[in-house]
Amino acid sequence: MNTNKLLSKYGVAPFLTLLATCFVGCGGPGDVKDMSARSKPVGVNKSGKATEATSLAASEPAARFVLTDQEGNQFDSANLQGKVWMGSIFFANCPGPCFRENQVIADILREIDDPNFVAVSLTCDPENDTPAALEHYADRFEADPQRWKFLTGDMNVIKRVGTKTFFLPVELGVHSERGVVFDRQGRLRGSYHLLQEDRVERLKKLIRDVLAEDDATVGTQEVD
């Protein structure tokens, strides 16, 4: 596979999704490199591996989606307009990595105690993760339902949001342990692994930076 031709023809985002699919799995730390602000130049070396990072043009606003939250209410992503938000994927019966992932999100929400910052966690096991099950799960993290939405619904919608909005692979019980950050206009700004401490620190910095931006600021994405 000539990765340089793929990048030239299709752009970086589809390539990231393809690369992530090769390394994903509940508990598997090796998915795509971070898309972080103010990083280094990126390229693809002779072996086909991503090297350092390059900035990308700010993405288009995320496509609207409608799912159901842990309180059984319809959740319309249009309500995220004007807020900085972080998306992630999990499932409640995950034997370990998802719990650690959500512990990190709970810590981030406590540390960045701003009503304009919201976490949106999509289950990849909607048949078992009913609103009632998600409410019970959310209680384990003392999640404020106004700031942390655990979402379930049609698996086709969840897959579409995962792959087309988060640029993360998602299948039944299979996902990437990353947090993806969106700005107030719904533009994807960065993606970091939630089980790597140094990445989480950079994730928190990105969230704070994006919260501090003026609404008119045109942001960039980068691939680390």
Question: What are the pLDDT digits (tens) for 58-77?
Answer: 568 999 999 999 999 999 99
Bridge pairing between strands 148-151 and 170-171: unpaired
| Domain 3-222 classification at class level | alpha beta
Mean pLDDT of 13-27: 44
Distance CA 75, CA 59 (A): 23
Q: Contacts for 166-170 with beta carbons within 8 Å, 24 or more apart?
A: 166/87, 166/89, 166/191, 167/13, 167/16, 167/17, 167/20, 167/191, 168/17, 168/20, 168/24, 168/31, 168/89, 169/17, 169/20, 169/21, 169/24, 170/89, 170/122, 170/124
Distance CA 57, CA 177 (A): 25
Distance CA 94, CA 43 (A): 34
Using pLDDT thresholds of 50, 70 and 90, give the confidence band for residue 104: very high
- Secondary structure (3-state) at 203: helix
pLDDT of residue 217: 54
Using pLDDT thresholds of 50, 70 and 90, give the confidence band for residue 220: low
pTM of the shown model: 0.75
pLDDT above 70 covers a percentage of the chain that reads 69
pLDDT of residue 25: 53
Domain residue ranges of the chain, discontinuous segments joined by +:
3-222
190-201 confidence digits (pLDDT tens):
999 999 999 999
Q: What is the DSSP letter of 48?
A: S
Encoding tokens for residue 34? 């971070």
The mean of the pLDDT values for the chain is 78
113-172 confidence digits (pLDDT tens):
999 999 999 999 999 999 999 999 999 999 999 999 999 999 999 999 999 999 998 999
Residue 184 has pLDDT above 90, yes or no: yes
- CA angle 39–97–44, rounded 5-degree value: 30
Mean pLDDT of 15-38: 40
Residue 15 has pLDDT above 60, yes or no: no
DSSP H stretches of helix in the chain = 3-10, 12-22, 97-111, 131-139, 155-160, 197-212
